[in-house]
Amino acid sequence: MAPAGGLDRSGLRLRFMAGYGQYDYDSQRAVAGSLVATEFDGNVTLSEIMAGYAWDFGALWLKTYIGLAYADHRLRPDDPGNDIKGARFGVKGQIESWLRMTPQSWFSADASFSSPFSDYWLQVRLGRDVGSFLSAGPEASLSGNREYGAGRAGGFLRFQAGKSQLTFSGGLSGNFRESDSYYAATEAYRRF
């Protein structure tokens, strides 16, 4: 949201986000004095409110944000060896960049760090416009926290209608501890 002017020029920005996700992992837990292989199921609820500023440098847009973040991780069964659980508040910072390279191609790089669980995220995309409302291309990302880290490589399709965007992405995901797996994501974005 741009409360003091239009989104098409430099100025103050406010950003709000809410999200929910599910995940699972394999580890061991103590049962009656023995370690037993266990699959843990988790869910996470996230929200944030941040203020920032956007700079329009022509072909390059740069945005920076800082604000409050909330994260709540719930595990079933409880994992005493995992520190990433429960509800916590903290500070979050984020930077977003978007560069129009040619009339039909663009590059974006976004990164954030959030203090509740030392979450970090970096994503890069190289897009090519296909018509007036569709773009597609490859993407790569790194994400994690103080207990886990993973990388992703895949592709995306982005549909744009006015101030709204809908993005579908998917590909391979992996980390140094487990075998590779697949990921799929959907993002809905509306500029105010």
Task: Give the model's pLDDT for residue 177.
Answer: 65
b/e string for 23-46 if b means 16 or more Cβ within 10 A?
Answer: eebeeebeeeeeeeeeebebebeb
Task: Give the model's pLDDT for residue 102.
Answer: 96
Number of CB atoms found within 10 A of residue 188's CB: 8
Domain assignment of residue 112, given as a range: 11-190
pLDDT in tens, 151-180: 999 999 999 998 899 999 999 998 766 667
Whether the CB-CB separation of 96 and 69 falls below 8 Å is answered with no
Task: Give the model's pLDDT for residue 108.
Answer: 97
Residue 176 lies in a domain: yes
3-state secondary structure at position 108: strand
Residue 129 lies in a domain: yes
Cα angle 38, 21, 68; round to 5 = 120
Residue 3 lies in a domain: no
Give the mean model confidence (pLDDT) for residues 108-120: 97
Residue 2 lies in a domain: no
What is the number of structural domains in the chain? Answer: 1
Residue 5 lies in a domain: no
Task: Give the model's pLDDT for residue 192.
Answer: 60
b/e string for 106-138 if b means 16 or more Cβ within 10 A?
Answer: bebebbbbbebbebeeebebbbebeeeeebbbe
**β-strand 86-102 against 119-129: which pairing, if any?**
unpaired
Residue indicated by tokens 């926290």: 145
Task: Give the model's pLDDT for residue 28.
Answer: 87
